[in-house]
Amino acid sequence: MTGPEMHDLVRRLYPLCRSITGPGLRRTLEIIGESIPLEITEVPTGTKVLDWTIPREWTIRDAYIKDATGAKVVDFQDSNLHVVGYSAPVEATMSLGELRGHLHTLPGQPDLVPYRTSYYAETWGFCLSQRTLDGLVDGPYEVRIDSTLADGHLTYGEHVVRGASSQEVLISCHVCHPSLANDNLAGVAVAVALARRLTDPWYTYRFVFAPGTIGAIAWLARNRAHVDRVAHGVTLACAGDSGAITYKRSRRGDAEVDRVFAHVLKDRPHTLLDFSPYGYDERQYCSPGFNLAVGSLTRTPYGGYPEYHTSADDPDFVRPEAMEDTLETLWTAVRVLEANRRYENLSPYGEPQLGTRGLYGSLGGRSDTKQAQMAMLWVLSYSDGSHSLLDIAERSNLPFHALAEAADALRGAGLVKELTG
């Protein structure tokens, strides 16, 4: 998938009113499923998942505030951000004074509509721009939210690319945000593109598209017995803004996935963050009972751009070339994970003679294949059973791919063998 194709997917998913349950979420997974087949899981309301309980399913049909003239001054049909997520139904007439406690604005960004939810405390509310609020007279207003909170299901989808190994790489995207493009439709689009690119990998790759927090918790609860299959992972979000890449380490801090991203990013502008228990669903995957090797890959992280969680996070805010760059970064990391092996130097006493094996320029002093020759020397020197190619890349400051190619050449010449386990 190209950047423009990923952007098309973002635009197509954008209008749906997603939440942590409900028809918008289900329709989102259907559309993703057109690109990569998804296995859909429906978890019934009331199901106990770890410390949590699956809530009632939320269906929203319409919502508005009408003024005395009958004009809709706030209208869900204009933007699904206008209604507080999980709002209970309401139908009432009230003054602006009574209404105010249910209205949310961003006084510092007066033209933008905020994104607000109230999943676990039943209430209702509207989000609007401060500019709109400032223009409202005393009322009365007709207020209506045509929603249902009823027993149903929480829905999530999985796409699996089987590899040679049963060890898994987890790519997890939250899919619970309504009309917000960078957070997280861009992450969804990049994940879809990655899934389509993978063919015959060594690891098994599992893509989880689930609502934030409760979705990841439901997935963990249902997969608790074999969660140790997850060898590496990232949550993927905010993948399309124009900022530099940010990688946030897993709680382990020095997991292979953490070191892979540090290596992949080191020669380009980027930010590396230590784990903190706030952010996306790495919070759940890295909770101390699981403590999975799951980091978080974003461009500008949550809360780090003014458009975050506002109506300004629309498809125009997301850039096709930024999603392509996120995809290529993730792809480079995947290739390092795939090729990161330990080798044993079978000729560890002194250097083996590379020239007679056709592995070395025959005339002393030439340097046209300098990096390749250095890579062979590094692989030979550190293939002592305890260093992986990534370890050697970190020490040598050579690019991983040069070392992987050197290891291949040396294996071909019988000078090293791959170690397993």
3-class SS at 179?
Answer: coil
Q: Is 139 left (phi over 0), alpha (psi -120 to 50) or beta?
A: left
Q: Give the start-end residues of each E strand in 131-217.
A: 141-150, 153-161, 168-174, 204-210
* Cβ-based nearer residue to a second copy, 2 or 291: 291
In whole angstroms, the minimum distance from the beta carbon of 310 to a second copy comes to: 11
* Cβ-based nearer residue to a second copy, 139 or 361: 361
* Cβ-based nearer residue to a second copy, 189 or 404: 404
In whole angstroms, the minimum distance from the beta carbon of 209 to a second copy comes to: 18
Q: Measure the CA–CA gap between 233 and 174, rounded to whole angstroms.
A: 14
In whole angstroms, the minimum distance from the beta carbon of 358 to a second copy comes to: 11
Are the C-beta atoms of 156 and 23 separated by less than 8 Å? Answer: no
What are the φ and ψ backbone dihedral angles of 354, each rounded to 5 degrees? -75, -35
* Cβ-based nearer residue to a second copy, 115 or 261: 115
What DSSP line would sit under 148-161, residue for residue? EEES-EEEEEEEEE
* Cβ-based nearer residue to a second copy, 162 or 222: 222
Are the C-beta atoms of 156 and 41 separated by less than 8 Å? Answer: yes
* Cβ-based nearer residue to a second copy, 214 or 333: 214
* Cβ-based nearer residue to a second copy, 188 or 379: 379
Instruction: Please state whether beta strands 245-248 and 294-298 pair in parallel, antiparallel, or not at all (unpaired).
Output: antiparallel
In whole angstroms, the minimum distance from the beta carbon of 121 to a second copy comes to: 4
In whole angstroms, the minimum distance from the beta carbon of 296 to a second copy comes to: 14
* Cβ-based nearer residue to a second copy, 147 or 329: 147
* Cβ-based nearer residue to a second copy, 188 or 380: 380
Q: Measure the CA–CA gap between 256 and 231, rounded to whole angstroms.
A: 9
Q: Measure the CA–CA gap between 273 and 298, rounded to whole angstroms.
A: 11
Token code pair at residue 203? 């690891």
In whole angstroms, the minimum distance from the beta carbon of 356 to a second copy comes to: 6
Q: Which residue, among 251, 233, 257, 254, has the nearest Cα to 289 in the 3D structure?
A: 251
CA 272 to chain centroid, in Å, comes to 16
* Cβ-based nearer residue to a second copy, 32 or 398: 398
* 56 DSSP assignment: -
N-term to C-term CA, the chain: 34
Site residues, a second copy (CB under 8 A): 49-52, 85, 114-121, 123, 213, 216-217, 220-221, 224, 251, 274, 276-278, 283-284, 286-291, 309, 345, 347-353, 355-356, 362-365, 374, 377-378, 380-384, 395-396
* Cβ-based nearer residue to a second copy, 31 or 346: 346
What DSSP line would sit under 231-259, residue for residue? EEEEEE-S-SSSSPEEEE--TTSS-HHHH
Rg (CA), the chain: 26
Are the C-beta atoms of 157 and 72 separated by less than 8 Å? Answer: no
Looking at residue 187, its amino acid is G
Q: Which helix (H) or strand (E) holds 260?
A: helix 256-265
In whole angstroms, the minimum distance from the beta carbon of 382 to a second copy comes to: 7
Distances (CA, A) of 195 to 33, 35, 201: 12, 9, 11
In whole angstroms, the minimum distance from the beta carbon of 103 to a second copy comes to: 13
In whole angstroms, the minimum distance from the beta carbon of 283 to a second copy comes to: 6
- How many residues are there in the chain? 421
In whole angstroms, the minimum distance from the beta carbon of 21 to a second copy comes to: 15
In whole angstroms, the minimum distance from the beta carbon of 219 to a second copy comes to: 10
